[in-house]
Amino acid sequence: MLFGKADYHEIKAPLSGKVIALADLDDPIFSGKVVGDGIALIPSDGEAVSPISGEVSFIAPTLHTYGIRGYDGVEVLVHLGLNTVKLNGKGFKALVKKGQTVEAGAPLCQMDLEMIRSEGYDPTTPVVITSNTIDMIRRLTFNNGFCVAGKTACMKYALVKK
């Protein structure tokens, strides 16, 4: 079986919203896949959840970026909005701490979409498997359309066989 049920792992959408390709972002770091490979979500609400089960490995001091390292070692980065680092934490409320264990679908953060837009920032959220763990992946597929936070897989991957 090349890519059957037993082979793949799901990355749940961390936000409800429309999936778009990283290449469609007006951000060379994400569109150029410098940080890693994945998708982006145009969020319909600001309730962010963990896309995978594992440990919170990173929280930006500005609360706009979260890394979760899965039990299989794959790390997923959720970057809430584009250039939102410039908000210095305004509009974001962390619901987890670094080192905390989370299950897929557990609350990560709240972001105030209305405030972020009113400040002139794009809340489109890249969701990527980080460049330091992408070599663990032998196959990565993407969902398209609309995803529901914590329920719909936005990506699926198979690990390199050892």
Q: Which amino acids are annotated catalytic?
A: 79
Is residue 13 within 8 Å of 51, Cβ to Cβ?
Answer: yes
Q: Which of 36, 16, 64, 33 is nearest to 128 (CA)?
A: 36
Find the helix or strand (DSSP H, E) in which 116 lies.
helix 113-118
Find the helix or strand (DSSP H, E) in which 56 lies.
strand 54-59
